[in-house]
A = this chain, B = another copy of it.
C-alpha cells in the first residue's frame, strides 16, 4: 500500500445492475432523480423505460464510484446528470455530488439487455 495517492490513481469504481421492471416509472420518481434534459432524452428514446432504467443504473454506479456514504432512499440523483454525446455518455455533476467528487474525473458506460441494465463508473 502507498501512503500518498498519485496522479493517475483510481479513486473509486462503481457498478450497478437493475432488472428493468424494478426501476420505478412514476413521474414523481423521474422528476426527483432526472434533469429535464435527461427526461426529454429518455422519453424520446426507442424504449423510454429501458432508457430511464439505464440512466438510473449509471447514476447509482457513479454514486458508488464517488465512495460517499449513502444518504439512503432520501437522496436525489438529479445532481448526477448523464449527458449524451456522439462519443458516448458523459457525466455532469452539480451541488453536493460535485463537491463530493472534489475535481475527480468520472467515466461511465451503460448497457441494457431485454431484461436488465448494467452500468459502470470510474472516478480518477
Contacts and interface: CB of A to CB of B under 8 A. Distances in A.
Interface stretch (A25-33, A39-47, A62-70): A62-70
Interface residues of A, number: 45
Identical subunits present: 3
B17 A88 contact: no
A87 B69 contact: yes
A54 B121 CA distance: 18
Q: Which of A69, A113, A117, A119 has the most CB of B within 10 A?
A: A113
A74 interface: no
Interface of A: 1-2, 6-10, 12-19, 22, 60-61, 64-65, 67-69, 86-88, 103, 105, 107-122, 124
